[in-house]
Amino acid sequence: MTVKERYRKVIDYFLAHAPEAETELFYDNPFQLLVAVVLSAQCTDKRVNLTTPALFDRFPDAETLAQASPDDVLPYIKSISYPNNKARHLSGLGKMLVDDFGGQVPMTVDELVRLPGVGRKTANVITSVIDAQPNMAVDTHVFRVSDRIGLTTNAKTPLAAEKQLLKHLPTGLVHKAHHWLILHGRYVCTARSPQCEICGLRSVCRFYSRLPEIPSSKNPRGK
């Protein structure tokens, strides 16, 4: 199977089965999404969604967050991973949004990565979700699923995987493909026990094609 054929089959599958895939983080505006994505680093979306309502009630916009110290933010995010670092990031992020961007969330990757706690992955998420820009955020799920299926080959870093995905994905579908791969990795192609027996991509998956055909109730290739 050629790379082009594999991408076509994967895209067709997701267009048919997950046409409206989107982030599972709760947000009402770009500011809230930015804060939620910063908090989601090495933390589950479920935990973030449990945390952000009280946080957004207290700090509803960049202006109020800009006035907060890390100690002001910390009590609201104590259940999040690395709360001390993220409290510092959010306090600095609010100040920079107000001082450098008029309180608005910028919509370019180069501008976003200037903000505390915002790396390339986060910037790609914000611009793709809010503005449907063709930017591919490669988190652990995207990295793993892309490699297993065969959408990437020998990609050693998230940036290398990002470049390969962008080379082959239609520009207009990049912002959707990000969610396709994340959700597939979160619920089907999981890290430790991929659920190959229920996966609709078995026929094109490089990982599945290499599994031993040993009959067993636990083996995804068993009969």
pLDDT tens for each residue of 28-56: 999 999 999 999 999 999 999 999 999 99
For the ranges 112-116, 202-206, 215-219, the lowest mean pLDDT is seen at 215-219
Q: For the residues 48-74, what does the mean pLDDT come to?
A: 97
- Which among 46, 61, 139, 147 is annotated as catalytic? 139
Residues 6 or more apart whose Cβ sits within 8 Å of residue 157: none
CATH code matching the domain that covers 3-20+136-209, chosen among 1.10.760.10, 1.10.1670.10, 3.40.50.11740, 3.40.50.11810: 1.10.1670.10
What's residue 138's pLDDT?
A: 95
What's residue 217's pLDDT?
A: 47
Average pLDDT, the chain: 93
- Would you call 144 exposed, middle or buried from its count of C-beta atoms within 10 A (0-12, 13-18, 19+)? buried
- Which among 9, 12, 86, 121 is annotated as catalytic? 121
pLDDT tens string 129-162: 999 999 999 999 999 999 999 999 999 999 999 9
pLDDT tens string 171-182: 999 999 999 999
CATH class for the region spanning 30-131: mainly alpha
What six digits make up the tokens of 217?
Answer: 């109730």
List binding-site positions for [4Fe-4S] cluster: 189, 196, 199, 205
Give span(s): CATH 1.10.340.30, the chain: 30-131
The yes-or-no answer on residue 28 being catalytic is no
Write the DSSP string, 153-174.
Answer: SS--SHHHHHHHHHHHS-GGGH
Tell me the Cα Rg of the chain. Answer: 19
Give span(s): CATH 1.10.1670.10, the chain: 3-20+136-209
List binding-site positions: 189, 196, 199, 205
Nearest to 143 by CA among 100, 112, 178, 172: 178
